[in-house]
Amino acid sequence: AILDMKDMFFMVSLDDKDNPQFAFTWVGVKYTFNQPPQGYKHSPTIAHNALVKLLVTVKKPPEICIYQYIDDILIGGSDKESVRETAQTIWHLLTNHGLQVIPPECRPLHPAWWTPSKCQGPAQEVQFLGSLCVSGVVAVPDDTLMEIEKGCLPQNKKELQQLQQLIGTLGYWRKHVPGFSVIAHPLFDLLRKNKLWDWTPTHAEAIRTLKDEQVINQRLGPLNPADP
């Protein structure tokens, strides 16, 4: 099951002694942030740690695992009802502390603690941090594979940006491509500053191999199936 926080950065209060560090002036008037601004590089860490302190207090069955990254929460386990109850417990804990999980406009259409727009499951298949979690394995979503496959090859140096975008997407899923850095080396070399444009069949072959490997290794699971 998945729980997704709403505007997590703006629900964590800064200490009064830290407010002067976030002061700014607008039209001659001085203001300061009371919550970590999104542009502050440590805001994700502050928000993540604040949520950790709440989640460690959750009482749950030992077989249930809670994974968290900043404001995204994944509840995993082998028993559907235990996952549901733990997700409900977390939802109540967060809302009792004034944190928002569900957009108010969704509440009349769904149970008080659940909505498809911000929550998923309990189910055998959920999407977490862009990855598809399916029955204990992590998979590249089908729509992502389609997007990668549609990525066009650059025709000249002016189109290097689209090559950078394609390599960036492929690089995000590099765990699904054995030997990614070796295969992609000719492409990275082409992107070097002041490098002369010289697109060859080697570059086209590298792109094709990377795309094919993504499909072949779309799903990855633990070496030991019993591992979480």
* Res. 114: pLDDT tops 50: no
- pLDDT number for residue 108: 38
Q: Are 128 and 74 in contact (CB under 8 A)?
A: yes
At 209, is the pLDDT very low, low, confident or very high (cuts 50, 70, 90)? very high
Domain ranges of the chain: 2-129, 142-219
Q: How many CB atoms lie within 10 A of CB 49?
A: 12
* Res. 113: pLDDT tops 50: no
- pLDDT number for residue 110: 45
The larger pLDDT score, comparing residue 82 to residue 193, is at 82
At 211, is the pLDDT very low, low, confident or very high (cuts 50, 70, 90)? very high
- In which residue are the tokens 């995000």 written? 172
- What tokens appear for 114 in the block? 């659940």
Condensed to tens digits (0 to 9), the pLDDT of residues 7-55 reads: 777 778 888 888 888 889 999 899 998 888 878 888 888 888 888 998 9
Helix axis angle, 201-216 relative to 142-150, nearest 10°?
Answer: 170
CA atoms within 13 A on the CB side of 70: 12
Condensed to tens digits (0 to 9), the pLDDT of residues 141-191 reads: 888 888 888 877 777 777 788 888 888 889 999 999 999 999 999 988 888
Q: Which of 110, 172, 114, 112 is nearest to 144 (CA)?
A: 172
Instruction: Tell me the C-alpha distance between 129 and 133, whole Å.
Output: 10
Mean of all residue pLDDT scores within the chain:
82
H or E element in which residue 58 lies: none
- pLDDT number for residue 182: 93
* Of the options 3.40.50, 3.30.70, 2.60.40, 3.30.565, the CATH number for the domain spanning 2-129: 3.30.70
The per-residue DSSP string of 181-224 comes to HHHHHHHHHHTSTTPPP---HHHHHHHHHHHHHHHHT-EE--SS
Q: Express as a percent the part of the chain with pLDDT over 70.
A: 89
Q: Are 73 and 67 in contact (CB under 8 A)?
A: yes
